[in-house]
């Protein structure tokens, strides 16, 4: 039992069996066509055992089938009418459950040949006729004692933690069920709790035990007649059930909806693998293997919790073996190539970086995508070697580009979760960049969101360490899991890489989440990269939301080193180009000598204020008010200092409408342009404009739109002022 101590559980079979033994209600079945022999034996054993009798094999079989659980021994005569002892033995031997009941054969003296035949048929001992009282008693008692000890051992083999069958007993039972119900379709389902090890590590073995016990109970309750389940090992459970319709299946494949008393687990998920309509000629462990195989394919796929075994997968197994056999040579022979996919700065269309993505040019299978081999390497740990190889290739390329005087952009490499099991990871990365003389800022590390979700202290510490040493950390596939947004600010991250899913499904709810996430990351001072950008529409939406960088086929596919070098020559822009691009639209306000223009932000949400500030602060001086009243009070004293007001309409104490009304009564205030920065709701824009606002900018804010609006407002205000003077 790999996990924990024994939990006190009611192990039904064990207890009923034990109670039976204690009460002395063990039954012995005497089978003999001779009435005298029957009564003799009965008489001899009465008192200590309960006696049942049968006159022939057939009758005995009937009794046995009815009461097999109670009968602890059979005394069998060989020569009988209807069904003789040999036939009886043969039938019993074929039946898993019946064959566990010991049979002692009663024979005439010196019948060696007969005895051998019976032993072959499964009898355990002999009683020579005529019966000798002492001998009969001794042999029966001894045999029953032996059996009970063995039986008790067997019973203990029931998993004490969950009370479910042990793995071996489960296999035995599966074989038996299939034998008895040859034409019934059955499914083998395995279930595994994701990240269970963390429960054990973080909450302790006792909590882990409680979770397993709870899971066992739930699986047990789901079993119908003729269905069984087991804990195979650790947190891996198996159910052998009738092939079922969708309704029943959805019952079987439960997820954590309730909480285990006293155990808090974050987002617990159970992954299921199903081998449907099992081939009954296959040994039960093979069935489990197939279900596990299916399940392993969806490990760490967020949102996919059930996988069904597909026969075509067996072919994949073969390929997998070949892949695993050839991986080490492949590394030595440089069959792995690094491809680069550019990342663009969304604001000025310049290449801002690249992601290194590995490819395998396999001598037999040809070009292979990471999806074909990375999951395998993650399972067997080879990924760490491969990742290090890729990082080194990237450093080598960066060094060469530097020496050749090419434009350098930061390159992101992928860091697998497995890599963090190496306690020297940080030193190794530092040593690598030092050895190639690479500026640490040029190596970005992409770490998948799920690594953070595990919240393993050691990993977070390593990432902090790397970040302090100057490497930029990007959280990959953000949004594919369920990281809690509220811990984001505490994690060592510089960049959020938004999962492609955000873009793929064009539903408006997904879009609004996208907008929210981008706003949030601005507030947290994180840059955002959107990956998988394929269309112009996606790009426009991302621009509107204020995303910083984009990566995707719309711009460029991953390409090999030579292609990437040519691409960079053609597309990379100089710093000068970049400046031209920005100034073409927005002219940085001149500050030489004069003070900066001041913008008043009236907005109750701190997050929105921060976002606006982050967009404006490089160019303007900012004053903040958290409601209309504060803004009004400030303006009464300082109206002449404010160039533009950014006004939210929904605020406590005094909202935007009230503010606009009050403002209209003061000449100096009334001259300051107002930009409404509220959510567009029904007539609110119309109302605001009627009350004298000048412009409306909806959320999420787009920096260039905001800057240009302010710029034009200020220009216009000045024009108006000078007009008035004339
Ligand atoms: P990822 O880190 O999420 O990488 C982005 C994947 O999206 C890449 O797939 C890239 O080719 C693909 N992609 C880029 N733009 C688009 C687009 O516009 N549309 C679509 N549909 N896809 C796009 P790729 O190269 O097949 O890599 C798959 C995954 O394999 C990567 O996902 C990453 O998790 C893993 N991987 C790749 N190279 C390495 C490596 O060197 N080490 C490790 N540990 N993992 C790697
Ligand atoms: Ca990546
Ligand atoms: Ca990704």
In tens, the pLDDT along 191-230 reads 999 888 888 888 888 889 999 999 999 999 999 999 999 9
Among the bound ligands, the one closest to the CA of 444: 2
DSSP 432-465: HHHHTT--GGGEEEEEEHHHHHTT-HHHHHHHHH
Residues 3-9 have a mean pLDDT of: 30
Question: pLDDT tens, 270-296?
Answer: 999 999 999 887 888 889 988 998 998
What is the per-residue pLDDT for 589?
Answer: 65
- The CA-atom distances, in angstroms, between 231 and each of 215, 237, 566 are 10, 4, 57
Residue with tokens 């299939």: 178
| pLDDT confidence band for 593 (50 / 70 / 90) | very low
Q: What is the average pLDDT score of the chain? A: 84
Q: How far apart are CA 54 and CA 58, in angstroms?
A: 8
Instruction: For each of the domains in the chain, give its residue range(s) and CATH number, in order of start.
Output: 11-153 (3.40.50.2300), 167-311 (3.30.70.270), 328-581 (3.20.20.450), 598-725 (3.40.50.2300)
**How far is ligand 3, taken at its centre, from the CA of residue 380, in Å?**
22
**Residue nearest atom 19 of ligand 1, based on CA coordinates:** 532
- List residues near ligand 1 (CB under 6 A): 341, 357-358, 369-371, 374, 383, 387, 390, 414, 416, 446, 476-477, 531-534, 551-553, 558
Predicted local distance difference test score (pLDDT) of residue 14: 36
pLDDT, tens only, 83-136: 999 999 999 888 767 777 888 888 776 677 777 788 788 888 888 877 887 888
Pocket test for ligand 1, best of 370, 418, 542 (most atoms within 8 A of CB): 370
Q: Which residues contact 224 (CB under 8 A, 6 or more apart)?
A: 241, 242
Query: How far does residue 268's CA lie from ligand 2's centre (Å)?
Result: 25
The pLDDT of residue 18 is 36
Cβ contacts of 244 within 8 Å, gap of 6 or more: 187, 252
pLDDT, residue 622, reads 93
> Which own/partner pairs from 215-221 qualify as long-range (CB within 8 Å, at least 24 positions apart)?
215/162, 215/191, 215/270, 216/159, 216/161, 216/162, 216/163, 216/164, 217/162, 217/163, 218/254, 219/164, 219/191, 220/162, 220/163, 220/164
Work out the average pLDDT over 549-573.
92
In angstroms, the CA 441 to CA 472 distance is: 6
pLDDT at 6 exceeding the cut of 50: no
**Which ligand has the minimum distance to the alpha carbon of residue 558?**
1
Closest CA to ligand 1's atom 33: 414
- pLDDT in the model for residue 367: 93
**Which numbered ligand comes closest to the C-alpha of 412?**
2
Tell me how far the alpha carbon of residue 355 lies from the centroid of ligand 1, in angstroms: 9
Closest atom of ligand 1 to 358 CA is 38
Q: Which helix (H) or strand (E) holds 54?
A: strand 50-54
Query: Which pTM does this prediction carry?
Result: 0.52
Closest CA to 688 of 673, 700, 704: 673
Q: What is the DSSP string of 156-214?
A: HTS-TTT-SBPHHHHHHHHHHHHHHTTT--EEEEEEEETTHHHHHHHH-HHHHHHHHHH
pLDDT band at 3; cut points 50, 70, 90: very low
The residue among 521, 514, 571 whose CA lies nearest residue 543 is: 514
Ligand 1: which atom is nearest the Cα of residue 554? 18
Query: What's the gap in Å between 301 CA and the centre of ligand 3?
Result: 13
Asked if residue 419 lies in contact with residue 425, where contact means CB atoms within 8 angstroms, the answer is: yes
Residue 521 pLDDT greater than 70, yes or no: yes
Ligand 2 centre distance from Cα of residue 721 (Å): 54
Model pLDDT for residues 659-711, shown as the tens digit of each residue: 999 988 888 888 899 998 876 665 666 777 778 888 888 777 777 788 888 88
Name which residue leads in pLDDT, 369 or 694: 369
Give the ligand at the shortest distance from the Cα of 387: 1
Closest-CA residue, ligand 1 atom 24, reads 370
- How many other CB atoms are there within 10 angstroms of residue 308's CB atom? 15
Q: Which atom of ligand 1 is nearest to the CA of 497?
A: 3
pLDDT band with cut points at 50, 70 and 90 for residue 16: very low
Please check the confidence at residue 152 and state whether its pLDDT lies above 70: no
Q: What is the pLDDT of residue 514?
A: 81
For ligand 1, atom 46, the nearest C-alpha belongs to: 414
Asked if pLDDT for residue 353 goes beyond 90, the answer is yes
For a mutational test of ligand 1's pocket, the pick from 338, 392, 414, 477, i.e. the residue with the most ligand atoms closer than 8 A to its C-beta, is 414
Q: Which atom of ligand 1 is found nearest the CA of 416?
A: 44
Task: Return the closest-CA partner of residue 297 out of 216, 415, 192, 381.
Answer: 192
Q: Which of 327, 330, 357 has most ligand 1 atoms within 8 Å of CB, for mutation?
A: 357
- Cα 626 to Cα 646: distance, rounded to the nearest angstrom: 12
* 401 pLDDT more than 90: yes
Cα of 529 from ligand 3 centre, angstroms: 10
Q: pLDDT band for 7, please (50, 70, 90 cuts).
A: very low
Cα of 707 vs centre of ligand 1, distance in Å, is 35
Residue 315 CA to ligand 1 center (angstroms) comes to 25
**Residue 584 pLDDT more than 60?**
no
pLDDT at position 273: 96
Q: How far apart are CA 235 and CA 231, in angstroms?
A: 7
Structure tokens at 159: 């998993």
Collapsing DSSP states into helix, strand and coil, what is residue 491?
coil
- Closest ligand 1 atom number to CA of residue 339: 25
| Residue of 531, 539, 559 to test ligand 1 pocket, by largest number of atoms within 8 Å of CB | 531
Strand order in 125-129's β-sheet? Answer: 50-54, 27-31, 71-77, 103-108, 125-129
Q: Is the distance from CB of 434 to CB of 451 less than 8 angstroms?
A: no
Distance (angstroms) between ligand 1 centre and the Cα of 507 equals 24
Residues 353 and 444 sit within 8 Å (Cβ to Cβ): yes
Percent of the chain surpassing pLDDT 70: 86
For residue 542, is pLDDT > 50? yes
Sign of CA dihedral 216, 219, 222, 223: negative
> Quick one: average pLDDT of 530-547?
87
- The answer to whether 214 and 196 are in contact (CB under 8 A) is no
Identify the band that residue 479 occupies on the pLDDT scale cut at 50, 70 and 90.
Answer: confident
Return all residues near 211 (Cβ < 8 A) that are at least 6 apart.
193, 196, 199, 235, 260, 263, 265
Predicted pLDDT of residue 286: 84
- Determine the distance separating the centroid of ligand 2 and the alpha carbon of 520, expressed in angstroms: 21
Residue with the smallest CA separation from ligand 1 atom 25 is 357
Instruction: Report which of 278, 271, 321 is spatially closest to residue 295, judged by C-alpha positions.
Output: 271
Query: Quick one: DSSP state of residue 590?
Result: P
Residue 444's pLDDT is what? 97
Residue linked to tokens 């020297």: 424
Q: Is the pLDDT of residue 4 over 70?
A: no
What integer pLDDT is reported at residue 726 of this predicted model?
A: 60
Per-residue pLDDT, averaged over 522-536, amounts to 89
**What ligand has the least distance to the C-alpha of 344?**
1
Length of the chain: 726
Q: Which residue has the higher pLDDT, 162 or 112?
A: 162
Mind giving me the DSSP string for 494-509?
A: SEEEE-THHHHS--HH
Q: What is the reported pLDDT for 314?
A: 65
Q: Is 18 helix (H, G, I), strand (E, B) or coil?
A: helix
């Amino acid at each position: 039992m790999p996990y924990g101590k024994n939990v006190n559980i009611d192990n039904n079979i064990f207890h009923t069996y034990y109670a039976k033994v204690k009460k002395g209600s063990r039954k012995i079945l005497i089978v003999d066509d001779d009435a005298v022999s029957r009564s003799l034996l009965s008489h001899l054993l009465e008192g200590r055992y309960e006696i049942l009798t049968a006159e022939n094999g057939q009758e005995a079989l009937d009794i046995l089938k009815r009461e097999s659980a109670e009968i602890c021994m059979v005394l069998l005569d060989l020569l009988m009418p209807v069904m003789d002892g040999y036939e009886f033995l043969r039938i019993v031997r074929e039946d898993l459950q019946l064959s566990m009941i010991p049979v002692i054969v009663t024979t005439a003296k010196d019948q060696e040949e007969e005895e051998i035949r019976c032993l072959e048929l499964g009898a355990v001992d002999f009683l020579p006729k005529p019966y000798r009282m002492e001998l009969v008693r001794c042999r029966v008692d001894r045999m029953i004692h032996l059996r009970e000890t063995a039986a008790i051992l067997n019973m203990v083999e029931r998993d004490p933690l969950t009370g479910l069958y042990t793995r071996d007993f489960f296999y035995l039972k599966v074989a038996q069920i299939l034998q008895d119900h040859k034409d019934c379709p059955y499914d083998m389902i395995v279930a595994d709790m994701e990240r269970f090890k963390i429960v054990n590590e973080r909450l302790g073995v006792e909590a882990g035990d409680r979770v397993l016990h709870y899971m066992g109970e739930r699986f047990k309750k789901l079993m119908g007649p003729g269905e069984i389940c087991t804990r195979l090992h650790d947190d891996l459970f198996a159910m052998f059930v009738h092939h079922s319709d969708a309704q029943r299946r959805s019952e079987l494949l439960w997820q954590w909806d309730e909480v285990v008393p006293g155990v808090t687990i974050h987002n617990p998920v159970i992954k299921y693998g199903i081998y449907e309509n099992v081939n009954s000629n296959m040994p039960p462990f093979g069935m489990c293997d197939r279900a596990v195989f299916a399940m392993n394919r969806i490990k760490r796929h967020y949102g996919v919790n059930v996988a069904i075994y597909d026969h075509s997968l067996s072919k994949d197994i073969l390929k997998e073996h070949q892949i695993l056999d050839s991986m080490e040579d492949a590394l030595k022979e440089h069959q792995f190539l690094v491809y680069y996919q550019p990342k663009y700065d969304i604001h000025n269309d310049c290449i801002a970086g690249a992601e290194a993505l590995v490819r395998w040019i396999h001598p037999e299978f040809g070009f292979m995508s990471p999806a074909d081999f990375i999951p395998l390497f993650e399972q067997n740990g080879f990924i760490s070697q491969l990742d290090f190889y890729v990082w080194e290739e990237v450093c080598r390329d960066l060094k060469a580009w530097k020496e050749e005087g090419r434009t350098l952009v930061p390159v992101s490499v992928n860091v697998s979760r497995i890599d963090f099991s190496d306690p020297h990871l940080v030193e190794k990365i530092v040593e690598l960049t030092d050895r190639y003389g690479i500026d640490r800022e040029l190596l970005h590390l992409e770490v998948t969101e799920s690594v953070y979700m595990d919240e393993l202290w050691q990993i977070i510490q390593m990432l902090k360490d790397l970040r302090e040493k100057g490497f930029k950390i990007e959280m990959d596939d953000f949004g594919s899991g369920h990281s809690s947004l509220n811990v984001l600010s505490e994690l060592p991250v510089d960049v959020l890489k938004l999962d492609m899913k955000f873009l793929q499904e064009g539903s408006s709810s997904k879009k609004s989440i996208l907008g929210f996430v981008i706003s949030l990351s601005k507030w947290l001072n994180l840059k955002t990269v959107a990956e998988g950008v394929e269309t112009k529409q996606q790009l426009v939406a991302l621009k509107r939301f204020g995303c910083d960088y984009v990566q995707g086929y719309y711009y460029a596919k991953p390409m090999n080193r030579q292609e990437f070098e040519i691409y960079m020559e053609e597309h990379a822009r100089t710093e000068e180009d970049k400046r031209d691009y920005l100034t073409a639209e927005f002219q940085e306000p001149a500050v030489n000598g004069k003070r900066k223009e001041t913008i008043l932000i009236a907005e109750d949400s701190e997050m929105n204020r921060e976002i606006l500030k982050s967009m404006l602060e490089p160019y303007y001086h900012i004053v903040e008010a958290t409601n209309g009243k504060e803004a009004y009070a400030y303006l009464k004293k300082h109206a002449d200092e404010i160039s533009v007001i950014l006004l939210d309409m929904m605020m406590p104490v005094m909202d935007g409408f009230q503010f606009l009304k009050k403002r209209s009564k003061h000449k100096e205030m009334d001259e300051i342009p107002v930009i409404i920065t509220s959510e567009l709701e029904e007539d609110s824009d119309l109302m605001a404009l009627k009350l004298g606002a000048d412009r409306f900018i909806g959320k999420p804010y787009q920096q260039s739109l905001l800057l240009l609006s302010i710029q034009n407002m200020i220009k216009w205000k000045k024009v108006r002022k000078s007009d008035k003077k004339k």
